[in-house]
Amino acid sequence: MNRGLRAVLWDMDGVLVLSGELHYEAWTRVLAEHGLSMTRGQFEETFGMNNHNILRRLYGHRLGAAEAHQIATRKEAAYRELARGRVQPLPGVREWLARLSEADWRQAVASSGPMANIAAILQELDVWDAFDAVLSGARLERSKPDPTLFLQAAAALGVPPARCVVVEDSTAGVEAARRAGTRCIAVTTTHAPEPLRAADLVVDRLDHLPQDAFDRLVPEEGL
């Protein structure tokens, strides 16, 4: 790994785009087809985890592997249908992607969502070219707060975790960043500030970040 490089590892839902309501609508629609339900509280508690771990936490042994896979697959297809033409980048996203690229930061998407979802959203937003790597944690045995996805993203970029900044909106994601040994900026799009206090910096919107926010967390080598 090149220790002179710096990187930003972006979560997607709640960071690049506000899509929580679309996910909740997809979950409730598909679970109802199977005689199941998800409360708003359960959705908020598990947001940021992959589907395997969400279903295991909420329904345990009530679901067999085949039915759980069917629900997860159908839910993500429903989400992509709902998202088409309805998503916009959150304030400050385009500006920060461009500014960081100009300053030679490497950038990756590290989302718990399936790769098909990530691809659909990045295409909708027209921001594919901003990223040097795109990773999905959907097939990982352990999802956030496990640090594996962020460690994989750092490795894909060739940047040590200590020189990476994770941008997250979920408590699970902030904890995953902490465990990975990265710095972390949390955005309060889906959670109040207090549950995100383990992050290095908590902000309500990315366009409210100071212009030197990333540089202060990971200074340029030699400064």
Query: What residues act catalytically?
Result: 11, 13
Measure the CA–CA gap between 30 and 187, rounded to whole angstroms. Answer: 29
b/e sequence 173-209, b meaning 16+ C-beta within 10 Å: bbbbbbbbebbbbbbbbbbeeeebeebbbbbeebeeb
Complete edge-to-edge strand list for the sheet that includes strand 133-136 = 133-136, 106-111, 7-10, 164-168, 183-187, 201-203
Q: How far is CA 113 from CA 104, 146, 214, in A?
A: 27, 15, 25
Tell me, rounded to whole angstroms, the distance of Cα 48 from its chain centroid.
6
- For 130, the token pair is 């901003």
Q: Which residues, listed in sequence order, are joined to residue 185 by a DSSP beta bridge?
A: 167, 201
CB-facing half-sphere around the CA of 133: CA atoms within 13 A: 22
CB atoms within 10 A of CB 104: 10
Report the distance separating Cα 165 and Cα 125, nearest Å.
22
